[in-house]
Amino acid sequence: MLGIEGLADASFQGDRRWKRAAKWTSYAPWLVLVMSVLSMVEIALGAVWISSMKRELNFAQVIQPLIVPGLCFFNTIPSLHLHVMARANPPRLALWFSATLSVMLFASALIFLGACVGNGKSRGGSLQRNECPAGTGGRADIWDAMVALQLVSAVMYAAVAGMAWKVKRVLEDKDQRIAAGVELVSQAEKERRESEARERWRHLSAG
């Protein structure tokens, strides 16, 4: 397990491959940090929203306010470890998770917003009764903040997915140049990188 001593190895410089791919991709560690904070705020707002509801709670009403931001939280923690502690974050893995969570957050926020369409009618549908403040009796201000933060998080996850795609393409292009003999990597450089990666993981595991 990583102890407190391992924090001395932390650096928001992040994975060098992400830093070298483009200037904007080097901000990925900070973006993931902000998303981790937002996910905790969203979980707190979701708990307050559920407690303010006047209708009887069902499982469907827990998915969007608690489970969706919870998945984001449990994604950002290992992502921060890879970016800040290990400083070796596979772009393909980051792309897959970030794109999936971005779509999930967009869908969740749109369902929230769609639930309140036509909420002035005397009889609302099941979606309105389950999600919209007019149907559930929950606090409208908490609902607004919750939906807004989910949209912001969706955009940020999309940005991280874009960064991962850029890094992935840069690395693939470099591999193609090496395979074609256009760009050469010395054996000493390969051994240095492998040794550095082994030492970092050993240090983190022993921390």
Task: Give residue-wise pLDDT tens across range 43-84.
Answer: 999 999 999 988 888 887 899 899 999 999 999 999 998 888
Show Cβ contacts of residue 142 under 8 Å, excluding neighbours closer than 6 positions. Answer: 45, 48, 49, 52
Name, in order, each residue with C-beta under 8 angstroms of 45's C-beta and a sequence gap of 6 or more. Answer: 65, 142, 145, 146, 149
* Model pLDDT for residues 18-41, shown as the tens digit of each residue: 988 999 999 999 999 999 999 999
The C-alpha atoms of residue 178 and residue 78 are separated, in whole angstroms, by 31
